[in-house]
Amino acid sequence: MEERNNKKRQVFENIHVVEFAAIAAGPLIGKHLADHGAEVIHVESYERPDGFRLNYPPYKDNKPGLNRSGSFTICNNNKYGITLNLKAKGALEVAHKLIKWADIVIENFTPGTMKKLGLDYEEIKKIKPDIIMLSTCNQGQTGPHALHPGFGSHLSSLCGFTYITGYKDKLPSILYGPYVDHVGVGYGVISVVAALEHRRQTGEGQYIDLAQYEVGIQFMIPALLEYNVNKRILERNGNRHAFAAPHNAYRCKGEDRWCVISIFSDEEWEKLCKLMNREDLLSDPRFKTILLRKQNEEKLDQEIENWTSKLTAEEIFKILQKNGIMAGIVQNMEDIFLDPQLNYRGFWPELNHPEVGKIHGEAPPFILSKTNFKIDRAAPCLGEHNELVFKKFLGYSNEEYEKLVKDGIIG
């Protein structure tokens, strides 16, 4: 009680999570729970380490290595890492012990894999009746395409995002990285917290079948409704906006530096012209109304870029925002680490990684006034917490532990 009053208590204190999961979609759900106080065990094996350790840069100093992956790091801070070879004889019993310890199991294998391992929901709820299990995969656990594997970039295209990104006269652009996986992460966290709340209310466990394809579609609803109702397909259109102009990214001083400006009203347009010292544009017959600005948008963009190209993106951002105009810097990955606002929010907490050294975690985008996130441990090295987890959390004796290692179950 006292701790709580000191605002130290976290939302998921005493909640235990086990992940049979790899890459981004599964592990990041556990990460967000761990940021808010859950104890999360990430299960791998030496035979099958997390794919991010093996197949996906960046690696520190570009040297591949099991504990050198930046992708793995971003998805797994605050967790405990163990190696449990689920295919070894006798491993199932150990996995059952883990499940008894857990409140939540997260897995993102191809559908059917957990069943083959004897760890599907029907089985594990016999061991722990109020267990919450989340399965997240590409197409969902059921249906004709359930077994089809896919990575996030492919799914970006299937969900319709690729088609609506880029310029009409060019090939569509692919969204960066496994975009849809991350939509699945947000909805995964939502689903797990919903299941915890359900358990709190009723004492019941839950099985959650989350298809990344389906959650991706939640981000596309207006385009679907437009086809459904008006039989019109939304086409990619650069940075153009249906009813705003100027609305684009504009070149600024420096190499590959850009700002964005979005003007939605005549008042904003007037302010912009004054700030650009181009009051002549206000009476220019090409730009007087929003209808005209939309008609002459290319010319309009040229006029804006004549101004922006003489200044830095940072200068434009400050000048315009201080005067209430919606403008921004196209920040690159360096800029966002230096961004004063993100840093003010503690978005990049500093961590020490035993092999890589000083690195940063990435925080949740929301701050809870009484129970804020805490990110204080870097992602685990492969098998880093075997002794801690098997002996302390699960209660194996020294001898039992040695035997598990000898039998290749821990390994």
Partner 1 sequence: MEKKQKKLLEDCRVLDFTDETGFLCGKILGDLGADVIKVERPGGDPSRNIGPFYKDIPDPEKSLYWFSYNHNKRGITLNIETETGREILKKLIEKTDIIIETFKPGYLKSLGIDYDVLCKINPKLIMTSITPFGQNGPYKDYRGSDLVLLAMSGFMSLLGDPDRPPVRPTLPQSFMWIGMHAAEGTLMAYYYRGLTGEGQHVDVSGQAAIVWASSIAPAYYDYNKEIPKRAGSFISGRSVTGALMRAVYPCKDGFITYIIYGGPAGIRTNKKLTEWMASRGMAPEELKNKNWDKFDITTVTQEEIDEIEEANRKFFETITKDEFFKKVIESDMLGYPVTTAKEIMEDEQLRERGLWKDVYHEDLNAHITYPSFFAKFSTIPCNIWRRAPLIGEHNEEVYREIGLNKKDLILLKEANVI
User: Considering only 39-47, 52-60, 280-288, 384-392, which stretch makes contact with partner 1 by CB under 8 A?
Assistant: 52-60
Looking at residue 391, the DSSP 8-state letter turns out to be I
**Shortest CB 355 distance to partner 1, Å:** 12
**Shortest CB 234 distance to partner 1, Å:** 6
Identify the active-site residue in 103, 120, 181, 301. Answer: 181
Q: Considering the rule CB under 8 A, would residue 131 count as an interface residue with partner 1?
A: no
CA distances from 72 to 57, 118, 226, 381 (A): 9, 27, 39, 10
Q: Do 245 and 300 touch, CB atoms closer than 8 A?
A: yes
What residues have CB less than 8 Å from 295, skipping those under 6 apart?
Answer: 286
List the interface residues with partner 1, window 273-312 (CB under 8 A).
none
User: Considering only 92-100, 186-194, 287-295, 396-404, which stretch makes contact with partner 1 by CB under 8 A?
Assistant: 186-194
Contacts of residues 195-202 at CB distance under 8 Å and 24 or more positions apart, as own/partner, are 195/104, 195/132, 195/134, 196/12, 196/15, 196/103, 196/104, 196/132, 199/103, 199/130, 199/132
List the interface residues with partner 1, window 359-378 (CB under 8 A).
359-360, 362-371
Q: Considering the rule CB under 8 A, would residue 341 count as an interface residue with partner 1?
A: yes
Identify the three-state secondary structure at position 217.
Answer: helix
CB neighbours of residue 235 within 10 Å: 8
Q: Show the binding pattern over residues 249-268: x = contacts partner 1 (CB under 8 A), - = does not.
A: xxx----x-xxx-x-x----
List the interface residues with partner 1, window 310-339 (CB under 8 A).
321, 324-337, 339
What residues have CB less than 8 Å from 254, skipping those under 6 apart?
Answer: 312, 313
Tell me which of 88, 113, 127, 177 binds partner 1, using CB under 8 A. Answer: 177
Within 13 Å and on the Cβ side, how many CA atoms surround 349?
A: 20
Q: Considering the rule CB under 8 A, would residue 356 count as an interface residue with partner 1?
A: yes
Residue 181: active-site member: yes
H helices of 203-287, in order, are 212-218, 221-230, 266-275, 280-283
User: Considering only 92-100, 159-167, 275-283, 388-396, which stretch makes contact with partner 1 by CB under 8 A?
Assistant: 159-167
**Shortest CB 404 distance to partner 1, Å:** 27
Identify the three-state secondary structure at position 197.
Answer: helix
Alpha-carbon dihedral angle through residues 364, 160, 192, 16, given to the nearest 10 degrees: -60
List the interface residues with partner 1, window 201-260 (CB under 8 A).
201, 204, 206-211, 213-215, 217-230, 232-244, 247-251, 256, 258-260
Q: Considering the rule CB under 8 A, would residue 139 count as an interface residue with partner 1?
A: yes
Looking at residue 174, the DSSP 8-state letter turns out to be P
List the interface residues with partner 1, window 62-121 (CB under 8 A).
62, 64, 70-71, 73-75, 121
Number of residues in contact with partner 1 under rule CB under 8 A: 163
**Shortest CB 232 distance to partner 1, Å:** 7
Active site residues: 181
